[in-house]
Structure 1
Amino acid sequence: MLMMGKILRFDEVRGYGFIVPREGGEDVFMHANDLVDEKYLYQAGREVEFYLEMGDKGPKASEIRLVDRAPRRAPAPRADGGEEADELDDDTLDVLTTAEFRAELTEALIEADGTLTAAQLKRVRTRVLELARDHGWVEA
């Protein structure tokens, strides 16, 4: 049965994620082997169509196709330092758990400046995490 839905989460490295069906019901497992388009295009919030199958562990998507194949772009910065207001839609944002955010932030900080000490990393990470919570960028 051909269905429509939005990608809830997709881990490009591990090659799997989940789709929220438009019709409601249980989230549907998705695997990189079932993607029709390039793997990097499958991001949280993107609308897809897929065939629903029953796998060993529950609903599974096959022949997963992006509805709009144009890749999402990051909002362009404005001269005043803000973002274009019409570029972001709350339905397409991937809100991370605190643990996911902390792990990604740590990797980004280490990659940006390998000379940071563990104490410096912790202080920066704690402050950025507070900021992220205040703005609703991570789950409470």
Structure 2
Amino acid sequence: MQTGTIVKYDGIKGFGFIEPDIGGEDVFLHASILGEELKHVLRGGTRVQFEAAPGNQGTKAVAVRLLSVVSQTSVAQAAADDRKSSSDDELCEVLTPVEFTQNITDVLIGAVPDMTGGQILQVREQLVAFARRHGWVED
């Protein structure tokens, strides 16, 4: 299997592209080869392991496995958020459940790259319920 980084993935349209670590053309990624759990966690910057095969219009992924998220923007944003939260005495921003789950996913994948999509979904569900009970997210 090769490794690479998701360059772009549109969950609504159901496709994206992987930039192989070894270089060359980007590999087409269609949602039809993904398990339901992966469809919800893939985004630009996600590190994956994949198998590719020639397709009608170029190389396409035939299997994908999640490795980790390596988005420098996410890391920088998280660090900035940490600095801001430690220096501010104001109330925190209330997130929507979607924003909250996206943040949780980034943290979980970064902390435990081998966590399966199913495990991520289970943890997110419990954390969102907990956050709702404490008023940390609003619907």
> Normalization by structure 1: what TM-score?
0.50
Q: Aligned residue for 1:26?
A: 25
Whole-Å Cα distance in 1 between the matches of residues 38 and 60 of structure 2?
Answer: 19
Whole-Å Cα distance in 2 between the matches of residues 7 and 55 of structure 1?
Answer: 19
Whole-Å Cα distance in 2 between the matches of residues 68 and 34 of structure 1?
Answer: 19
Whole-Å Cα distance in 2 between the matches of residues 39 and 15 of structure 1?
Answer: 8
Is the Cα contact below 8 Å between 1:35 and 1:62 reproduced in 2? Answer: no
Is the Cα contact below 8 Å between 2:2 and 2:20 reproduced in 1? Answer: yes
The aligned length equals 79
Is the Cα contact below 8 Å between 1:47 and 1:68 reproduced in 2? Answer: yes
Runs of 4+ residues deviating >4 angstroms = none
Q: Amino acid of the residue matched to residue 49 of structure 2?
A: E
Per the alignment, in what secondary structure is the counterpart of residue 40 of structure 2?
A: helix
Q: Aligned residue for 2:99?
A: none
Gaps of 5+ in 2: 89-105, 107-139
Per the alignment, in what secondary structure is the counterpart of residue 45 of structure 2?
A: coil
Matched, 1:67 2:67: yes
Is the Cα contact below 8 Å between 1:6 and 1:48 reproduced in 2? Answer: yes
Q: Aligned residue for 1:57?
A: 57
Whole-Å Cα distance in 1 between the matches of residues 27 and 49 of structure 2?
Answer: 12
How many Å apart are 1:48 and its aligned residue? 0.4
Q: Amino acid of the residue matched to residue 34 of structure 2?
A: L
Is the Cα contact below 8 Å between 2:52 and 2:63 reproduced in 1? Answer: no
Q: Aligned residue for 2:122?
A: none
Per the alignment, in what secondary structure is the counterpart of residue 5 of structure 1?
A: strand
How many Å apart are 1:55 and its aligned residue? 0.5
Q: Aligned residue for 2:4?
A: 5
Instruction: Give the % identical residues.
Output: 34
How many Å apart are 1:38 and its aligned residue? 2.5
Greater per-residue helix proportion: 2
Whole-Å Cα distance in 2 between the matches of residues 47 and 66 of structure 1?
Answer: 6
Q: Aligned residue for 1:15?
A: 14
Considering only aligned residues, what root-mean-square deviation do their CA atoms show, in Å? 2.5
How many Å apart are 1:68 and its aligned residue? 3.0
Larger Rg: 1
> Normalization by structure 2: what TM-score?
0.50
Q: Aligned residue for 1:48?
A: 48
Q: Amino acid of the residue matched to residue 17 of structure 1?
A: G
For 1:35-78, what per-residue CA distance to the aligned partner results, in whole angstroms no more than 9, with x for missing partners?
Answer: 24431110100000111100100000011111138xx7972452
